[in-house]
Amino acid sequence: MKLRTEIAQSWRRSELSGLKPGAPTDRLEVRDIDPRSRLLRAATPVLDDIARHLGNTSLCLVLADRDCRIVARRFGSHSVERALDNVSAVPGCRYTEDTSGTNSLATPFELRRGVAVHGSEHYLEGLKRFTCYGHPIVHPATKRLEGVLDITGLAEDTNPLLAPFLVHAIADIEQRLLEGSNQAQQHLLAAFQAAQHRCRAVLALGDDVALANSAAVDLIDPADHVLLRDVSRTRRGVRRLRLTSGTEVEVRMEAVSVNAGMLFEIAPVRPAYASTTRRRDHGGVLPADVEERLRNAAHSRRRVLICGEPGSGRTTALTTLAGAHSLVAVSGENVLTTGESRWYAELEKLARTHTGLVAIEGAHLLGPVLAAKVARLLDESRAWLALTTGPLPELSGEQAALAARVHRRVELPALRHRRADIPMLARTVLAAQVPQDPPRLTAGALELLAAQPWPGNLRELATVLTETARRRTCGDITARDLAPSCPVSAATPALSGWEQAEHDAITAALTAERGNKVHAAKRLGISRSTLYNRMRALRITS
């Protein structure tokens, strides 16, 4: 059977996720759903109205949310209801391609457009008795995916009118979502105004709006919006936090009506220490614990191996290690132009004569013979030496043996593992580029920066911000200003703190294993199918 292109590609994605065509359809996990969600409140009247027209037909409607988890169904007859129950198409079940293959919930969710799937075009054998058409639901204001609506019948009931019938229903749901957003904003505004009478600093954050009084504007940086949103996902009530300025505050968090947003009442516990504030505004780009270890090593003139990805701050770490002492460096990149003998002679001379720090940058670039000679020099010389290399798991042979000669190691984290530091790092870069009046980054801009993979690490961040600051003529830097350098993907979900940690662990394992998913799964201690499933859920494409 020759498949349509979109169906063939969906089959391939299902196969790569580890799913087999003969997999049982009664194995899918069912979770609780929120009956008061914004999507359900908008869709329920529309679904109820359509249900009255289904009569005794063999058609049914299935609604899934933005995670492609089924949240509602409507039937023309009980026989269709039983048929869906038998294939786990029940409320609370997540119907994505990696769990259910090609169908008109999972595939429109993946492609972000309407898709019809008829009979044998379904990937799973258990679904081939159905014909269906599904279409995504997109919020008219935010353009975010809110869910998928599907109309399903038995394979013999294929009807070309199903698609326009469903699209009309989706237009009604999207209009109700828009009206509901306006009401939610009104509720959020009312709660914000009421809170100002009992608290000096008040901030309200909705899906598409942020409200702050003057005291909150002075206290809260746009970078703190990201922190507050993340914290409020998992906890309500009162919590003590440290803002990006260094100020410690007590925050009372309260949900406003149903999905209208969160209200934050903020009171400083104590002002930021002057040294803390100065450090955050004008400090270096290395993590505090890394700087401390480097300074301790410098005090005793200990040899240090500094390892990390390109752009992660290896040269900066050398400068920090040298401190007030003079620093000279030879680079492994220069071996090809100067020749191994001349390069090693220069290093040997520096080790004999230089009284400060002698650094060998890019030691992982040295050939096996030269790496062995440098290792002997480390054993024989009493000079204060430091080495920089790529990530330790990537070293092998003589380069690994050379690295093993230096017992004090400082591993620099990749920028994707330092997302909480991005606001401070961005301010440091902008302050260096525009010392007199550095531009601010809006909350949306910071969220966009935090969502990037940053394969070039700190160097790439600095390049992006420098180019953006050069293009900017006035005002704050927004997400739109960053867009030419920071792509926005509609398929990339907003991740919670836990999901972001999971995302980073998987990408780190894939990087360490050079993209080999079998080895990455072993490194993570999970099965290959679980790895594929999590990669799909977190939109990891490595």
Q: What is the pLDDT of residue 278?
A: 36
Q: What residue spans of 17-118 are helical by DSSP H? A: 38-54, 78-86, 97-100, 106-111
Q: What is the pLDDT of residue 382?
A: 92
Higher per-residue pLDDT: 437 or 316: 316
- DSSP assignment of 196-255 equals TTT-SEEEEE-SS-EEE-HHHHHH--HHHHHHHHHHHHH--EEEEEE-TTS-EEEEEEEE
Evaluate if residue 489 carries a pLDDT over 80.
no
In angstroms, the CA 243 to CA 224 distance is 6
In angstroms, the CA 535 to CA 497 distance is 16
Domains and CATH numbers, the chain: 5-180 (3.30.450.40), 196-274 (no CATH), 288-411 (3.40.50.300), 415-482 (1.10.8.60), 497-537 (1.10.10)
Name the residue among 144, 31, 15, 9 with its Cα closest to residue 94: 31
Q: What is the pLDDT of residue 431?
A: 83
Distances in Å between the alpha carbon of 122 and those of 7, 11, 111, 347?
Answer: 8, 8, 16, 66
Evaluate if residue 130 carries a pLDDT over 70.
yes
Q: What is the pTM of this model?
A: 0.51
Evaluate if residue 139 carries a pLDDT over 70.
yes
Residue 64 is given by DSSP the state E
Least confident interval from 59-63, 148-152, 317-321, 497-501: 497-501
Helix (H, G, I), strand (E, B) or coil at 421: helix
Distances in Å between the alpha carbon of 36 and those of 41, 46, 147, 258?
Answer: 6, 15, 15, 7
- DSSP assignment of 21-48 equals TT--SS---B----TT-HHHHHHHHHHH
Beta-strand pair 115-118/130-138: antiparallel
In angstroms, the CA 363 to CA 305 distance is 10
* Percent of the chain with pLDDT strictly greater than 70: 90
Contact status, residue 290 vs residue 412, Cβ threshold 8 Å: yes
- Provide the token pair at 87: 């294939």
Helix (H, G, I), strand (E, B) or coil at 18: coil
- Provide the token pair at 509: 């394992």
Q: What is the pLDDT of residue 432?
A: 81
Higher per-residue pLDDT: 354 or 34: 354
Evaluate if residue 294 carries a pLDDT over 80.
yes
Write the pLDDT tens digit of every residue in 162-219: 778 788 899 999 999 888 777 777 888 888 888 888 888 999 888 667 888 888 887 8
Q: What is the pLDDT of residue 388?
A: 96
Contact status, residue 16 vs residue 110, Cβ threshold 8 Å: no
